[in-house]
Amino acid sequence: MNKTAFLFDKIFQEHDTGMGHPERSERLLAINDKLKSTSYYNDFIQVEKSIGDSKYIELIHERGYIERVKNEIEGGETYLDSMDTVVCTRSFEVALYAVGGSLEMCDTIMSGKADNGFCAVRPPGHHAEKGYAAGFCIFNNIAISAKYLQSVYNIERIAIVDWDVHHGNGTQHSFDEDDSIYYISLHQYPHYPGTGSSNEIGIGKGKGYTLNFPMMAGSGDEEYQKAFDERIIPELEGFKPEILLISAGFDAHASDPLSSINLSTEMYYRFTRLLMGVANNYSENRVIGFLEGGYNLSALGDGVEMVMKAFIEG
């Protein structure tokens, strides 16, 4: 069995998006309550929350953007850049904790204290661009973590697999010209945010290190399994990542209210097992999941349980 780390803290519930918003604090409670019902919950290595250092956030985001987010939230703004990204007075602090906790998870994995881990943090991150907030996201937790791993641990090759139903525009754009970070996304298309066509493959020296799978509405287990079997796993095996990061959204589930993709709960177990096979061969079993979307509370809790079950089994 693997040593699996888990990041969850009540601080992440303090990002209040208001009544009726799909990205709400109850999401984390649904995850934690589901995992608490398992036989292995007490075996998790608990990762502590931590405030993210701005020098690491600036590896992805412009300093002016970070300052603007702080100032606008402290000034009483109720959303950032679009009506989607609702904020409250604590949102800047909570977003810093989301980054810091994610980096603590990186340290936990790289130190060997755990083989793999899952960051149940909010606000999520993969839509956040260098200079603006988008799609419920403020800071791009997974992109910052990737640059942190490179700058602190000299990791040369990182793979990011994004199975959230929405394309991770912020993450892709962070690494468009980077051949050391391979970004792979499966997502409903056309759908928010409108990016992620199959001809987006990277720019300059990063050409060939972005791989998008635009999925038609109504796609399900069969289409996703085919993408993993025929392209994603072979591409990852060719790339030989030293660590594998997952933008783990659960909004491609058949019961999610924000999408028209029809994945079963079981597929999240299968995805994770397949990626762990790659990690076993090339990454010393190092895999980190970062919570992105997932708005049906029951499906969200069940999906995360599938990931953690696979993580624990090794």
Q: Is the pLDDT of residue 160 over 90?
A: yes
The mean pLDDT value of the chain amounts to 98
Report the share of the chain in percent with pLDDT over 90.
99
Q: pLDDT value at position 1? A: 82
What is the residue whose two structure tokens read 């990762």?
47
Q: What is the number of other CB atoms lying within 10 angstroms of the CB of residue 16?
A: 16
Sheet holding 181-188, edge to edge: 45-47, 4-7, 116-119, 287-291, 243-248, 158-162, 181-188, 210-215
Mean per-residue pLDDT for 280-291?
98
d(CA 209, CA 197): 14
| 115/134 Cα distance (integer angstroms) | 32
Residues β-bridged to residue 5: 45, 117
**pLDDT of residue 314 exceeding 90:** no
Q: What CATH superfamily is the domain 4-313?
A: Histone deacetylase domain (3.40.800.20)
Mean pLDDT value of segment 257-286: 98
Given a cut of 90, whether residue 173 has pLDDT beyond it is yes
Residue whose tokens read 């700058």: 151
Residue 123, pLDDT score:
98
Tell me: the pLDDT tens digits for 209-267?
Answer: 999 999 999 999 999 999 999 999 999 999 999 999 999 999 999 999 999 999 999 99
DSSP state of 229: I
Choice among 127, 167, 187, 253 that is catalytic = 127
Phi, psi of 189 (to 5 degrees): -150, 135
* Complete DSSP assignment for 78-106: SBSSSTTSB--TTHHHHHHHHHHHHHHHH
Which is it for the CA torsion 33, 34, 37, 38, positive or negative? negative
At 171 the pLDDT is: 99
CA distances (Å), 295 to each of 21, 155, 159, 205, 302, in order? 10, 33, 26, 37, 12
Neighbours of 33 (CB within 10 A): 12
List b or e across 122-148, with b for residues whose CB sees 16 or more CB atoms inside 10 angstroms: bbbbbbbbeebbbbbbbbbbbbbbbbb
What are the pLDDT digits (tens) for 59-95? Answer: 999 999 999 999 999 999 999 999 999 999 999 999 9
Q: What is the mean pLDDT of residues 293-305?
A: 98
Over residues 8-65, the pLDDT tens digits come to 999 999 999 999 999 999 999 999 999 999 999 999 999 999 999 999 999 999 999 9
Instruction: Identify how many contiguous H helices and E strands the chain contains and give both numbers.
Output: 10, 8
Mean pLDDT of the region 146-171: 98
Q: What is the CA radius of gyration of the chain?
A: 17
Does 15 participate in catalysis according to the annotation? no
pLDDT of res. 88: 98
Given a cut of 90, whether residue 114 has pLDDT beyond it is yes
| Residue 58, pLDDT score | 98
